[in-house]
Amino acid sequence: MQDIALFETPGFGRVLTLDGVIQVTTGDEFIYHEMLAHVPIYAHGAVRSACVVGGGDGGMLREILKHPSVEQAVLVEIDGAVVDFCREHLPSVSAGAFDDKRTEIVIADGITFMAETARKFDLIVIDSTDPIGPGGVLFTESFYKDCARCLAPGGIVVNQNGVPFLQGEEVTDTWRRRKPHFADVGFYLAAVPTYVGGFMALGWASNTTDARAASVETIRARFQAAPVTTRYYTPDVHKAAFALPPYVQAFITD
């Protein structure tokens, strides 16, 4: 369904592109995957069921499945060729997550899956391409509404939301489209070297305000009780990531 390319670089290692757009590099993928997985999981405190929409490289599954509380992780990927390709050529990214007994792989359109499923999830991670091509439907209000319906009480939705310095309209659009359907909508930031333009925005939505409001002491206690190995995420980075510079805050408007 997409043009897949893989090449080697001296600084970023193996680089995967879809339709000419960089999706993942073995050099810095840990930053993106850790922040989209561990921030909501430690904020929630008891994630048992997770759904990843997109994420065919397996990196998001890898980080989610580091948590022993997670009993099931469903990967919904529109393009099975991406999963097969990454299994063969980027095995370090998934690190065995595709074969974990808790993993369920569904090759389907994410928007159709969310519209039709009766399942409930504590965490939904939208690990999609930008809102062009196949990924465009995953930034629509109807899709966000379906995600809200599929959340268990206290559930959280997170997604990649572009680089605000260059793609500020994506932040505004996501804010407006999610606000009618969730109790709490916001954004947090991560510095991913691959993505030109400064901080990457990560979208946040929940049917409760409690998760984002969890104190750094609470996050530290949860991290100490159920630690995972990380190279970027810490409880302090977790809390600091929600502090938005004024130029990013300006995009959060009605």
| pLDDT grade for 145, boundaries at 50, 70 and 90 | very high
Residue type, 195: Y
146 as an active site residue: the answer is no
28, 57, 122, 127: which is the annotated catalytic residue? 127
Judge whether 131 and 138 are in contact, CB under 8 Å. yes
| pLDDT grade for 19, boundaries at 50, 70 and 90 | confident
Q: In this predicted structure, what is the pLDDT of residue 135?
A: 64
Q: What is the mean pLDDT of the chain?
A: 94
Q: Nearest Cα to 68, choosing from 222, 252, 176?
A: 222
Q: Nearest Cα to 160, choosing from 133, 145, 138?
A: 138
Give this prediction's pTM.
0.95
Q: Is the pLDDT of residue 137 over 90?
A: no
Q: In this predicted structure, what is the pLDDT of residue 128?
A: 82
> Mean pLDDT across the stretch 154-180?
95
> Mean pLDDT across the stretch 118-136?
82
Q: How many CA atoms lie within 13 A of 85 on its CB side?
A: 21
- Domains within the chain, CATH numbers bracketed: 28-249 (3.40.50.150)
Q: In this predicted structure, what is the pLDDT of residue 132?
A: 62
> Mean pLDDT across the stretch 167-187?
95
Q: Is the pLDDT of residue 133 over 90?
A: no
| pLDDT grade for 196, boundaries at 50, 70 and 90 | confident
Q: Is the pLDDT of residue 253 over 90?
A: no
| pLDDT grade for 142, boundaries at 50, 70 and 90 | very high
Joined together, the tokens standing for residue 168 give 């500020």
CA distance 118 to 167: 34
| pLDDT grade for 229, boundaries at 50, 70 and 90 | very high
Q: In this predicted structure, what is the pLDDT of residue 131?
A: 61
230-250 pLDDT per residue, tens? 999 999 999 999 999 999 999
Joined together, the tokens standing for residue 128 give 């999609």
Which residues make Cβ contacts (< 8 Å) with residue 181, sequence separation at least 6? 141, 144, 145, 148, 205
Residue type, 173: D
